[in-house]
Amino acid sequence: MLFQIGNEQEALQSICKILTEDDEFRLAWIGYCEDDRDRTIRPVAKAGDSYVLERLWNSRGKTETGEGLAGFAVGTGKPHWINDISTDPRAFGWGAAAMDAGYASCIALPLIAHNQQRGLIDLRGTLNLYSAEREFFDDTTVKHYMDLASCLTQAVVALRDDLANDLTSGVKSLRASEERRRAEDALQTARAELARASRLTMMGQIAASIAHEINQPLAAIAANGSAALRWLAKQTPDLEEARVAISSVVAEGHRAGQIIESVRAMFKQAPQAKMLLDVNELVREVLTLTRSEIQRHRVVVQTELMDGIPKALADRIQLQQVMLNLILNALEAMDAVTDRPRVLSIKSAIHDSKGVQIMVGDTGIGIEPQNMRRMFDSFFTTKHHGMGMGLSICRSIIETHGGSLSASSSDPHGTVFQMILPTSVE
């Protein structure tokens, strides 16, 4: 989806809508300061449980004149957030209404722009977000939403410049369309920011898994090293036992090195570098990286990898990212399953004379038929912390490889993703 901005109101409304879609936030509203003595902040766009906004509004009363979070944000030009509305004294007066509405955390982000030439303030407002989760905000999320707020500020200023030009010149000059493009670019950047954050979350999730993965060979190295010392310290040193222990040290050291190498390859930002790739090897690599995550979710893995499968022409790192995303989604989809085995099945096979296929299936909660198409759309998510970017990034990666990625329901439970990749043309 590309942002098409008609006017300021539409731009503000579209941002609020994106932020509340699929429950990322329960409520998002944007307020502008009025020029009255109290500097009242009036909502100009809102999405989510907006009936609650009226309640919040009434119970907040005069606090918007500078005492509430929105007031702090405008007054200081800095973000202000509360991670537990039920206990934070700053929520006094409006916290009860917010808790009734199911909000637990909230943030107010300044939208402030100064006009350098005229020495005036062009924009003075706040973007306010309410989440149902406690402790929703930390340094990373605050920085991310601040970036979003500053892109939005730039977009609004660009749109206003555009309008001012139209009014004074009376002509829809070329400049005006450039300004509009600038505004669209700024919102486009906001969208890219969201995508980046989603990848960061994904990487964060596996960072823990990698740390665990590396800890295992390290622990084995320490244990075998001590054993070797003990064999050598005996009155008659047992050289054979010491040799066996030291061989394990070497092997485990190599294993740790391999893990680090695959992590390094995975995160390296390289331009697409297609090569002939053994998809079975790729599957095994990603399974190694996600092993502890798979165990943590108490999931059993079943693989059916076809022997001698033709190689695919693909960028290894990009395909690792796709596999990783599909596996992590599958694990999450099985979290709620308690009455049947949680099975992650991965198969590889020949698709036709020009392609190979990889299937990633789970026995998870499955997908509602009406969501089957939408799940590949940007920002479509049914998760609280989801960004809804994973599958859309995966599909675009596979499509730039000349392949396809699709999903279907599996019988009797769960979902299966099918990735088709072209093989080399010889």
For residues 234-293, which are near ligand ADP according to CB under 6 A?
Answer: none
Q: What residue type is assigned to position 236 of the chain? A: T
Residue 83, beta-bridge partner list: none
Which x/- pattern over 194-223 shows residues binding ligand ADP (rule: CB under 6 A)? Answer: ----x-------------------------
| Residues sharing a CB contact under 8 Å with residue 193, sequence separation 6 or more, in sequence order | 144, 147, 148, 151
Distances (CA, A) of 240 to 179, 197, 220, 232: 77, 53, 19, 10
- Judged by CB under 6 A, does residue 390 bind ligand ADP? yes
Contact 80, 125 (CB under 8 A): no
Per-residue three-class SS string for 181-242: HHHHHHHHHHHHHHHHHHHHHHHHHHHHHHHHHHHHHHHHHHHHHHHHHHHHHCCCCCHHHH
In the complex, minimum distance from the CB of residue 191 to ligand ADP, in angstroms, rounded to a whole number: 14
- Cα 30 from Cα 111, distance rounded (Å): 9
Q: Considering the complex, state which of residue 93 and residue 366 has its C-beta at the smaller distance from ligand ADP.
A: 366
Judged by CB under 6 A, the residue of 224, 242, 362, 397 near ligand ADP is 362
- Cα 148 from Cα 131, distance rounded (Å): 17
Binding window for ligand ADP (CB under 6 A); candidates: 79-87, 242-250, 257-265, 324-332: 324-332
In the complex, minimum distance from the CB of residue 329 to ligand ADP, in angstroms, rounded to a whole number: 3
Give the gyration radius of the chain's Cα atoms. Answer: 27
In the complex, minimum distance from the CB of residue 31 to ligand ADP, in angstroms, rounded to a whole number: 29
7: left (phi over 0), alpha (psi -120 to 50) or beta: beta
In the complex, minimum distance from the CB of residue 361 to ligand ADP, in angstroms, rounded to a whole number: 9
In the complex, minimum distance from the CB of residue 196 to ligand ADP, in angstroms, rounded to a whole number: 13
* Peptide linkage before 369 cis (omega within 30 of 0): no
- Cα 170 from Cα 188, distance rounded (Å): 28
Neighbours of 306 (CB within 10 A): 14
- Judged by CB under 6 A, does residue 321 bind ligand ADP? no
Q: Considering the complex, state which of residue 100 and residue 368 has its C-beta at the smaller distance from ligand ADP.
A: 368
Contact 388, 22 (CB under 8 A): yes
- Judged by CB under 6 A, does residue 379 bind ligand ADP? no
In the complex, minimum distance from the CB of residue 47 to ligand ADP, in angstroms, rounded to a whole number: 19
Binding window for ligand ADP (CB under 6 A); candidates: 68-76, 239-247, 272-280, 325-333: 325-333
Judged by CB under 6 A, the residue of 364, 395, 398, 403 near ligand ADP is 364
Judged by CB under 6 A, the residue of 30, 375, 397, 398 near ligand ADP is 375
Which x/- pattern over 327-346 shows residues binding ligand ADP (rule: CB under 6 A)? Answer: --xx--x-------------
Q: Considering the complex, state which of residue 141 and residue 392 has its C-beta at the smaller distance from ligand ADP.
A: 392
In the complex, minimum distance from the CB of residue 321 to ligand ADP, in angstroms, rounded to a whole number: 12
- Judged by CB under 6 A, does residue 380 bind ligand ADP? yes
Q: How many residues bind ligand ADP (CB under 6 A)?
A: 23
- Judged by CB under 6 A, does residue 386 bind ligand ADP? yes
In the complex, minimum distance from the CB of residue 202 to ligand ADP, in angstroms, rounded to a whole number: 8
Q: Considering the complex, state which of residue 79 and residue 388 has its C-beta at the smaller distance from ligand ADP.
A: 388
**Hey, what are 294's tokens?**
């798979």
In the complex, minimum distance from the CB of residue 211 to ligand ADP, in angstroms, rounded to a whole number: 22
- Judged by CB under 6 A, does residue 419 bind ligand ADP? no
**Hey, what are 255's tokens?**
């294993």
Classify residue 7 as exposed, middle or buried by CB count within 10 Å of its CB (0-12, 13-18, 19+): exposed
Residue numbers at the binding site for ligand ADP (CB under 6 A): 198, 325, 329-330, 333, 362, 364-367, 375, 380-383, 386-392, 415
